[in-house]
């Protein structure tokens, strides 16, 4: 543990209050400086905020109206604000990227400014001097991986053993999880930054438990330099769970597939190290589907179908185009080009337009990519058909979202089929070999993940040679 237990508990219980003897807001581009004292707290939704009682200001312009927002353009990095604070113990905290509203009419002191913030960075006063690069973080989402180690518990009247630890090791990579009643903690040793490590664990937890973990605090040691970050979270995400193709209790032949789980996390970390673009596509599309799943049927379906299209465009279409190009189409294009060149009566511009359009006949669209993946038995039958139908459903949404009679049992079946397609595309891109739950089968059948040809794991350029103009 690299930070104070009491600090972590106060964040978890939403009682955090950091009393600061010094607080200062600065803006580099304008020379703005607002100084004073105040507090940093967390509200009941899990969002961090500060309250600054300022006693001095410099380079502040007189408010032209009742309120003025600073910065004027929050998307301009040059205008961003920075907060520096120091508590009664001398620990310094920093954050940036927030906005403030000026007091009405004047900057008379003393006065108060308050604003929400995304995070708060600081350096713990005591930490071990180690050369290893590792990340520690805590979160409250329900995460129940298959554990392989136990913890002894002792009280004045009893003793016991709790299987609540999971340890995964391979080479220089080491991951440890401690599962407790009120929160969970994770420790990851690798070459990844804290943000990258958390993304790997988040995708791992999402595929196994359907949750979106939100670390409320993390620390990272990089060659002996220790940093810590307290994060704002959204408590409405904490108890929401979405589809999980590899649940923690997945059993093969009556035995929990713990090696199956351990290998998945290692594969995600290795993929993040070796192919960050591929990992980012998997992570971003899965995140989109998870968040869309909290909305209406139409939005959930739209997020799902576009995520499938995104994975096909980013990862699958290029190797399909290189390795599954239809020779008959190539021959047809050559023959058509020869005929058009010999036609009389065509204007030069018209002939050139037709000739330039012919290569699009060989373009691999998402529909064609799904057909290929079906033909090699990687995706189930009708994967393309159900994806097309669900996409059409999204194109004609109902005005009444409270009661959507169009989302009938057949559409739900198409949705479940597309969920299975998404899971297989993600696990196939990772190169994961094992078992998966198919949601669009009776009793959610457990099947072995089909193995993709090795050339699908080659790092092709992410952009297609020519833009796709159709589905």
Question: Residue 406's pLDDT band (boundaries 50, 70, 90)?
Answer: low
Place of tokens 């000026």: 102
**pLDDT of amino acid 351:** 77
Question: Residue 420's pLDDT band (boundaries 50, 70, 90)?
Answer: very high
**pLDDT of amino acid 147:** 87
Break the chain into its structural domains and give their ranges. 5-122, 134-274, 292-324+364-457, 326-361
In the predicted model, is pLDDT for residue 469 greater than 70? no
Read off the pLDDT of each residue in 146-158 and give the average, rounded to a whole number: 80
Question: Residue 327's pLDDT band (boundaries 50, 70, 90)?
Answer: low
- What CA–CA distance (Å, rounded) separates 322 from 461? 12
**pLDDT of amino acid 400:** 47
The two tokens of residue 179 are 């599962």
The number of beta carbons lying within 10 Å of the beta carbon of residue 282 is 26
> Residue 48: CB partners within 8 Å, gap ≥ 6?
16, 40, 41, 42, 116, 117, 118, 119, 120, 230, 231, 232
Instruction: Convert the pLDDT of each residue in 199-247 to its tens digit.
Output: 999 999 999 999 999 999 999 987 778 899 999 999 999 999 999 999 8
Could you give phi then psi for residue 267, rounded to 5 degrees?
-65, -40
Q: Is residue 119 classed as helix, strand or coil in its secondary structure?
A: strand
Does an H or E element contain 117, and which?
A: strand 111-117
pTM of the model: 0.88
Instruction: Give percent of the chain above pLDDT 90.
Output: 56
- What CA–CA distance (Å, rounded) separates 221 from 202? 20
Which of 191, 204, 168, 367 lies closest to 279, judged by CA?
204
In the predicted model, is pLDDT for residue 383 greater than 50? yes
Strands, E, within 140-254: which ranges? 149-154, 159-170, 173-179, 184-189, 217-222, 225-231, 251-252
Half-sphere exposure of 2 (CA within 13 A, CB side): 27
Q: In degrees to the nearest 10, what's the CA dihedral of 264, 265, 269, 274?
A: 0
């Amino acid at each position: 543990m690299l930070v104070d237990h009491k600090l972590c508990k106060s964040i978890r219980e939403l009682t955090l209050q950091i009393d600061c003897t010094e607080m200062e807001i600065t803006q580099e581009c304008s020379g703005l400086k607002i100084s004073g004292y105040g507090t940093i707290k967390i509200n009941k939704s899990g969002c961090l905020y500060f309250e600054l009682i300022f006693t001095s200001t410099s380079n502040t312009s007189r408010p032209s109206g009742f309120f003025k927002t600073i910065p004027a353009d929050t998307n301009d990095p040059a205008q961003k604000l920075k907060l520096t604070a120091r508590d009664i113990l001398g620990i310094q905290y920093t954050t940036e990227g927030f906005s403030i509203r000026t007091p009405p009419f004047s900057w008379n002191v003393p006065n108060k400014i308050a604003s929400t913030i995304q995070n708060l960075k600081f350096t713990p006063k005591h930490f071990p001097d180690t050369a290893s690069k590792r990340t520690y973080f805590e979160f409250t989402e329900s995460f129940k991986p298959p554990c392989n180690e136990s913890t002894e518990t002792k009280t004045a009247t009893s003793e016991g053993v709790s299987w609540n630890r999971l340890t995964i090791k391979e080479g220089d990579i080491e991951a440890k999880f401690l599962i407790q009643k009120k929160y969970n903690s994770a420790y990851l040793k690798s070459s990844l930054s804290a943000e990258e490590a958390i993304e790997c664990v988040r995708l791992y937890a999402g595929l196994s438990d359907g949750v979106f973990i939100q670390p409320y605090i993390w620390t990272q040691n990089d060659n002996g330099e220790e940093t810590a970050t307290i994060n704002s979270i959204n408590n409405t995400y904490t108890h929401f769970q979405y589809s999980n193709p590899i649940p923690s209790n997945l059993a093969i032949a009556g035995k929990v597939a713990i090696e199956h789980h351990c290998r998945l996390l290692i594969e995600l970390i290795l993929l993040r190290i070796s192919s960050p673009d591929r990992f980012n596509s998997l992570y971003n599309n899965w995140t989109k589907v998870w968040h869309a799943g909290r909305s209406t049927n139409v939005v959930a379906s739209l997020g799902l179908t576009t995520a499938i299209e995104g994975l096909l465009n980013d990862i699958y279409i290029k190797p399909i185009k290189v390795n599954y190009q239809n020779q008959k189409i190539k021959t047809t294009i050559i023959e058509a080009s020869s005929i058009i060149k010999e036609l009389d009566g065509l204007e030069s511009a018209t002939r050139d337009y037709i000739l330039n359009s012919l290569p699009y006949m060989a373009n691999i669209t998402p529909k064609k990519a799904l057909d290929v993946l079906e033909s090699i038995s990687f995706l189930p039958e009708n994967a393309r058909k159900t994806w097309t139908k669900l996409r059409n459903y999204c194109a004609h949404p109902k005005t009444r979202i409270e009661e959507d009679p169009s989302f009938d049992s057949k559409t739900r079946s198409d949705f479940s089929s597309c969920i299975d397609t998404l899971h297989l595309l993600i696990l196939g891109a990772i190169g994961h070999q094992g078992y998966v739950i198919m949601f669009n089968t009776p009793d959610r059948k457990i099947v072995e993940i089909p193995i993709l040809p090795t050339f699908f794991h080659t790092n092709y350029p992410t952009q297609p040679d020519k833009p796709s103009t159709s589905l």
